């Protein structure tokens, strides 16, 4: 069993030093809880391992995993950069006062407005994804009289073993320039000759939730060979961004490498290739998301009813759903959970934890081993810090949950729970709809007064 946290004397789960039953009482459910110390520890694992083994490097947190203004502060304090993929993520970073110079801007279809926002705020690097963007950015930059620092995103043609939807390094991908595209090197020459954009490096990201480190070795070899090819033509690009992707254990049968082990492997690979190819060591960038926040978070849900289909399956229902965790429906993700208010009780049965959305696919855990759950019990699902809140929607007009940051037992709200009012905030009723015809009398049943009432 993946068990993040500890058990207190009352048999309650403590996470980040806080009794989670009290968190649920104070902040309501569904609730996302992040352990600040765990996030900082993971940030430091990346930064310090790089610092020791390859000082000419930067760890850039991938904001898509989870982004809020408070997280930006933590990242800044820990010395990380920030990868953003939309105007919205960039705006969040800017609003949090995150230094724009440490921002890396990604995306396969950045709009002119998004690129302009990046240019106006002088973001550190813009990772250009395709030829269209190259020319769009070139003309925007000239118009604004600035020369942005850019990387080119390349697809190395590597397909790591992970869910197809999160493989991104293969040739048939919407992302990046194919490393073998014959137009690529002429285009690089063009960029350098033109001088509108300051091209300093290349980027790749082969995918996410990757365990097999061999895929990184192959990627490093291909990327370094590309740098060598440029080098032999007199083109020196000083930076190499290897993206993110390190997997985490969602269930006890998974065992990914530790952060330090993963970083060491990247560093060794780059050193080995630089030596073999006789090219200078590049400045190295890495973009982890999931491995920093994923294991640092849990989700709390209140148990409601249940349904047993004799001899087939027992469902227990919770107040969350695919609206706050679409990963099960999207990727067949698996999780482990405990009843947090009696975390010492041994599992008694295997149940399917279902959410409250109107879809049969709205399942949070297909096969959870739990004590017999009663209405009012508190379910804690582990490893939910990454790609949960960030992917949450208002499907079925469910308000998105709150997010609480716990620091040595002290909880603080970092994202408020949405209210019903928030849900209708952007709704408009065109004036003409205010004068609709009334339905014929008797078309809808009416509440009738109870006997003796009315």
> Alpha-carbon distance 320 to 363, whole Å?
10
Binding part of the chain for ligand LLP, among 113-121, 283-291, 357-365, 417-425 by CB under 6 A, reads: 283-291
Which residue in 57, 209, 219, 264 binds ligand LLP (CB under 6 A)?
A: 209
| 158-177 positions binding ligand LLP, by CB under 6 A | 166
| 3-state SS class at 339 | strand
CA gyration radius, the chain: 25
| 293-352 positions binding ligand LLP, by CB under 6 A | 327, 331
- Comparing CB distances to ligand LLP, the nearer of 331 and 395 is 331
Give the interface size with ligand LLP as a residue count (CB under 6 A).
21
Question: Counting contacts by CB under 6 A, is residue 138 touching ligand LLP?
Answer: no
- Comparing CB distances to ligand LLP, the nearer of 148 and 169 is 169
- Comparing CB distances to ligand LLP, the nearer of 150 and 351 is 150
> Does the annotation mark 358 as catalytic?
yes
> Alpha-carbon distance 13 to 310, whole Å?
31
> Alpha-carbon distance 227 to 127, whole Å?
17
- Comparing CB distances to ligand LLP, the nearer of 292 and 379 is 292
Nearest distance, CB of residue 388 and ligand LLP, angstroms = 8
Q: Are 219 and 242 in contact (CB under 8 A)?
A: yes
Which residue in 78, 83, 129, 239 binds ligand LLP (CB under 6 A)?
A: 83
| 3-state SS class at 338 | strand
- Comparing CB distances to ligand LLP, the nearer of 244 and 401 is 244
Output the DSSP codes for 211-257: --THHHHHHHHHHHHHHHHHHHTT----EEE----B---SSTT--PP
Output the DSSP codes for 284-310: EEE---HHHHGGGEEEEEEEEEEEEET
- Comparing CB distances to ligand LLP, the nearer of 382 and 387 is 387
| 3-state SS class at 37 | helix
Which residue in 30, 124, 157, 245 binds ligand LLP (CB under 6 A)?
A: 245
- Comparing CB distances to ligand LLP, the nearer of 33 and 259 is 259
Binding part of the chain for ligand LLP, among 138-146, 204-212, 364-372, 373-381 by CB under 6 A, reads: 204-212
Which residue in 159, 196, 290, 302 binds ligand LLP (CB under 6 A)?
A: 290
Which residue in 12, 64, 102, 159 binds ligand LLP (CB under 6 A)?
A: 64
Q: Are 128 and 137 in contact (CB under 8 A)?
A: yes
Separation in Å, CA 286 to CA 152, 229, 244, 377: 15, 22, 6, 41
Nearest distance, CB of residue 211 and ligand LLP, angstroms = 11
> Alpha-carbon distance 92 to 76, whole Å?
13
> Alpha-carbon distance 114 to 129, whole Å?
14
Nearest distance, CB of residue 195 and ligand LLP, angstroms = 27
Which residue in 87, 160, 243, 399 binds ligand LLP (CB under 6 A)?
A: 243
List own/partner pairs for 116-119 with CB under 8 A and 24 or more apart.
Answer: 116/140, 116/144, 117/87, 117/90, 117/91, 118/90, 118/148, 119/144, 119/146, 119/148
For residue 93, the 8-state DSSP code is H
Question: Counting contacts by CB under 6 A, is residue 154 touching ligand LLP?
Answer: no
> Alpha-carbon distance 355 to 302, whole Å?
11
| 249-278 positions binding ligand LLP, by CB under 6 A | none
Which residue in 12, 205, 221, 302 binds ligand LLP (CB under 6 A)?
A: 205
Nearest distance, CB of residue 148 and ligand LLP, angstroms = 18
| 364-423 positions binding ligand LLP, by CB under 6 A | 387
> Alpha-carbon distance 302 to 22, whole Å?
13
Question: Counting contacts by CB under 6 A, is residue 84 touching ligand LLP?
Answer: no
Which residue in 30, 148, 269, 288 binds ligand LLP (CB under 6 A)?
A: 288
- Which amino acids are annotated catalytic? 358
**What residue ranges bind ligand LLP (CB under 6 A)?**
62, 64-65, 83, 106, 166, 205, 208-209, 243-246, 287-291, 327, 331, 387
């Amino acid at each position: 069993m993946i068990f993040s946290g500890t058990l207190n004397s009352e048999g309650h789960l403590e996470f980040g030093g806080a009794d989670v039953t009290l968190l649920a009482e104070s902040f309501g459910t569904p609730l996302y809880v992040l352990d600040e110390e765990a996030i900082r520890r993971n940030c430091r694992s990346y930064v310090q391992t790089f610092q020791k083994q390859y000082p000419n490097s930067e760890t850039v947190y991938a904001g898509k995993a989870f982004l809020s203004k408070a997280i930006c502060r933590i990242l800044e304090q820990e010395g990380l950069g920030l990868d953003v993929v939309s105007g919205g993520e960039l705006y969040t970073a800017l609003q949090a006062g995150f230094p724009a110079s440490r921002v890396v801007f990604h995306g396969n279809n950045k709009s002119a407005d998004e690129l302009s926002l990046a240019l106006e705020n002088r973001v550190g690097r813009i990772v250009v994804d395709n030829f269209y963007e190259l020319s769009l950015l070139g003309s925007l930059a000239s118009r604004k009289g600035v020369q942005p620092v850019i990387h080119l995103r390349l697809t190395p043609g590597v397909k790591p073993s992970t869910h197809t939807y999160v493989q991104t390094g293969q040739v048939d991908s919407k992302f990046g320039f194919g490393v073998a595209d014959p137009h690529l090197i002429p285009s690089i020459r063009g960029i350098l000759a033109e001088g509108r954009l300051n091209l300093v490096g290349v980027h790749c990201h082969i995918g996410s939730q990757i365990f097999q480190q061999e895929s990184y070795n192959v990627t490093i070899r291909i990327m370094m060979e590309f740098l060598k090819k440029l080098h032999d033509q007199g083109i020196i690009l000083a930076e190499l961004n290897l993206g993110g992707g390190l997997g985490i254990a969602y269930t006890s049968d998974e065992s990914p490498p530790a952060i330090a082990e993963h970083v060491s492997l990247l560093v060794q690979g780059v050193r080995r290739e630089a030596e073999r190819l006789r090219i200078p060591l590049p400045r190295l960038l890495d973009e982890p998301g999931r491995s920093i926040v994923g294991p640092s978070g849990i989700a709390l849900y209140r148990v409601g009813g249940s349904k047993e289909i004799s001899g087939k399956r027992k469902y227990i229902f919770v107040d969350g759903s695919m609206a706050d965790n679409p990963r099960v429906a999207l990727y067949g993700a698996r999780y482990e959970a405990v009843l947090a208010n009696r975390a010492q009780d041994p599992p008694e049965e295997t149940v399917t934890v279902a959410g409250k959305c109107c879809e049969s696919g709205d399942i949070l855990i297909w096969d959870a081993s739990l004590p017999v759950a009663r209405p009012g019990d508190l379910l804690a699902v582990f490893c939910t810090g990454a790609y949960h809140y960030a992917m949450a929607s208002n499907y079925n007009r469910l308000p998105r949950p709150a997010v609480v940051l716990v620091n040595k037992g002290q909880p603080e709200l970092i994202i408020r729970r949405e209210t019903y009012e928030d849900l209708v905030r952007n709704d408009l009723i065109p004036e003409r709809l205010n004068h609709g015809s009334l339905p014929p009398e008797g078309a809808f049943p009416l509440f009738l007064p109870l006997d003796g009432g009315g």
